Amino acid sequence: MNYDLVICGVGGQGVLSIAWVIDHAAHQAGLYFKQSEVHGMAQRGGAVSAFVRISEQPVASDLIATGAARMVLSVEPMEALRYTPLLHPDGWIVTDVTTLENVDAYPQHEALYRVLFSVPRLVVLDATGLAHKAGAIKAQNMVVLGAAAAQLPLSSELLETQVRALFASKGERIVKANVNAFRIGMAASAFAQALIAAGVPSALVAPVLARLVFEPQPVSEDLIRRWVQRLLAADGAQTAERMFSGAPVLVEAVPTA
């Protein structure tokens, strides 16, 4: 098994905390790994990335070749797109939808989302808003980590154990908030996968998922069926478009016709 992962975002978003959790979970699982880091600036707001390579065999290099990354895991949508040349044809992008416009030539949102939502294997969610719900304003990194968990070569139990370890020194309230953030991300990702498995096009799932609010537990099968029916209806595309242009809503609030 070889798994190459790009983790990216901007300074202050906890990119290296994600890498810490994954590295320690890989070590606990008895796997080999190597990690490299790039800091665009030494201050908050500069681009930050980490390349993580995980394998059952010793890893010789920390470099990821073009087209080899199984996932780009990002806390900022433009940064996710920056690394798409490294993505494997069957690779995934998992990202927060919330922009952090840290450069003067930041693209127009409409163009950015048009490109992002065209990615065939995509989980995009309002990690920043969901972090608020979890109880920690800075826990958007744990939301996207939870959303990525199902595609990583590590069990969610191992990852959650390391989330707890990372925040243990900060007290039980912070530990609980970050674990909730991780579980909310897992619930959102599982919901998206269920919709796609039921035949809902990824291009419709992405804008809907980006506006839904989840609890830190799985969505019921009945609720998933109702969403599938709604998005596969004749006006499903219009429903998705309206949702993305509106305010966040609870996943229980399935739109009516």
Dist. CA 214–CA 171, nearest whole Å: 24
pLDDT, one tens digit per residue, over 129-187 is 999 999 998 999 999 999 999 999 999 999 999 999 999 999 999 999 999 999 999 99
Dist. CA 102–CA 9, nearest whole Å: 10
Domain boundaries, the chain: 2-250
Share of the chain above pLDDT 90, in %: 85
pLDDT, one tens digit per residue, over 98-139 is 998 878 889 999 999 999 999 999 999 999 999 999 999 899
Q: Domain spanning 2-250: which superfamily?
A: Pyruvate-ferredoxin oxidoreductase, PFOR, domain III (3.40.920.10)
Given a cut of 80, whether residue 29 has pLDDT beyond it is: yes
Asked whether 74 and 93 are in contact (CB, 8 A), the reply is yes
Q: How do beta strands 87-96 and 122-125 pair?
A: parallel
- Residue of 167, 83, 149 lying closest to 119 (CA atoms): 83
Dist. CA 125–CA 97, nearest whole Å: 6
